[in-house]
Amino acid sequence: MTPIPSFIYKKKNQITMVLFVPLFALLFILIYKPLDFDTLDEKLLPWLNIDYDLKITLLSIVIVLIGMAVAAISRLIMTSYARSHALSYVKYISWVALEIIIMVLIYTIATYFLSDLSGVGDLTTIFQNTLIKSILILLIPYVMSYIYFIWQERVGELKAIRKRLEEDDNALQKAYLQIYDEKGKMQLSIHRQNLAVIESADNYVCVWYKNGDTPRKMMIRTTLKQLSEQLSGTHVLRCHRSYMVNLDHVRVLRREKEGIFAELGLEGVPDIPISKTYAESITRWLVSEER
């Protein structure tokens, strides 16, 4: 059997239902008087020295409070049961039906002992009439509650989707690097994983990047100093007075007589020298657990 959505019986919604349904029922009863209160004995609760109509109002409140208590106990048991058992639509509807029947039995017994029986009939008749009226009274708040729960759940899902899209969009933006020329005009937007090396060339820089498996380069009029500021916070770091390197591509650091060189493992891209000024920071980053 198909289980009902878990949000239907989660704690917050159960509390909402236990409070809303009885209060709605009380207002409905007080306004439209659908139950057989006109059959109640006028000498009802003689020790309570108040107006008859007020007695009826108090009796309605007591009955509704009892119904609220029945619903609260029932929903508490339901929540506990649902932790270890699948709650199907059939089980849930049966559970709600049992709640209503218990409430109807309480009202039937109260009516039987407090009414002029000549006006309401026997116990079976009272139960049948009360059951029909109770279902009609409770149908509206039950349906309203479920519509609200479904709407609330859909709103929550839309918010989660919107948040996930925003996070994906931010992640996508962070994955791309923008390189601007000396006038602040964007010349290249490239995925971080495709950028390899930036090489100084007089008043220009040569940007080495890969397009598929093919290495390419692009000349942009700017300086390494400006690019260092633009790419601050990324994995593209200054490693030499003439080079910046994307540390994601560094595969080997090789020490020779001439100094330290970084091998990127990209065909067509030369090994990059690392000067003493930047060697310590580059090495620290490469061995860091936070990489």
Cα–Cα distances (Å) from 67 to 53, 57, 268, 277, in that order, read 21, 15, 81, 79
Q: Residue 31 corresponds to which tokens in the numbers above?
A: 């306004």
How far apart, in whole angstroms, are the C-alpha atoms of residue 99 and residue 101?
6
In 3D space, the residue among 153, 181, 177, 152 whose CA is nearest the CA of residue 236 turns out to be: 177
289 three-class SS: coil
- The rounded average pLDDT for each run of 10 residues, N- to C-terminus, in the chain (291 residues) is 82 88 85 63 59 74 86 89 87 90 85 62 80 86 91 90 76 77 91 90 90 86 91 87 90 86 83 88 70 47
User: How many beta carbons lie within 10 A of that of residue 14, not counting itself?
Assistant: 19
Cα distance from N-terminal residue to C-terminal residue, the chain? 49
pLDDT for position 289: 44
274 three-class SS: strand
Q: Residue 194 corresponds to which tokens in the numbers above?
A: 């495709």
pLDDT for position 277: 86
b/e per residue 238-271 (b: at least 16 CB within 10 A): bbbeebbbbbebbeeeeeeeeebebebebeebee
pLDDT tens, 241-290?
A: 999 999 888 888 888 888 889 888 787 788 899 998 888 888 777 776 44
Query: Could you tell me whether strands 176-180 and 186-191 are parallel, antiparallel, or unpaired per DSSP bridges?
Result: antiparallel
Domain ranges of the chain: 6-170, 181-287
The angle subtended at Cα 113 by Cα 108 and Cα 119, nearest 5°, is 80
How far apart, in whole angstroms, are the C-alpha atoms of residue 285 and residue 45?
85
Give the CATH fold of the 181-287 domain. OB fold (Dihydrolipoamide Acetyltransferase, E2P) (2.40.50)
